[in-house]
């Protein structure tokens, strides 16, 4: 199992400061296919239509990267600074 914390910070279009946090989990091995779970940790954080993301190859690490890319591309998250921590305490 691999986990990550994804933190987005910056300014919204109206100039307001924003902080959003997501927790990502993948639990299917270091190679092959599976899915990652996306868990919002901040109230009101935008979410993709599905809270699971499937990958066909690349393992858990690829799933976490794909989930992070999907989160960064959401309306409201574009242009924010991103910090990722793999296996946070």
Convert the pLDDT of each residue in 19-64 to its tens digit. 999 999 998 878 888 989 999 999 999 999 999 988 998 898 888 8
pTM for the predicted model, two decimal places: 0.87
Reading the block at residue 40, the tokens are: 């919002």
Cα-based distances in Å from 45 to 30, 31, 49, 71: 29, 30, 13, 10
3-state helix/strand/coil string of the chain: CEEEEEEEEEECCCCCEEEEEEEEEECCCCCCCEEEEEEECCCCCCCCCCCEEEECCCHHHHHHHHHHHHHHCCCCCCCCEEEEEECCC
The pLDDT tens digits for 65-81 are 899 999 999 998 999 99
Res 89 pLDDT > 70 = no
């Amino acid at each position: 199992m691999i986990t990550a914390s994804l933190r987005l910070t910056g300014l919204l279009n109206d100039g307001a400061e924003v902080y959003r946090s997501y927790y990502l989990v993948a639990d299917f091995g270091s190679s092959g296919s599976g899915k990652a779970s996306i868990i919002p940790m901040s109230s009101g954080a935008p979410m993709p239509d599905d809270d699971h993301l499937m990958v066909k190859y690349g393992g858990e690490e690829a799933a976490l990267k794909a989930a992070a890319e999907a989160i960064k591309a959401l309306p409201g998250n574009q242009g924010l600074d991103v910090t990722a921590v793999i296996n946070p305490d």
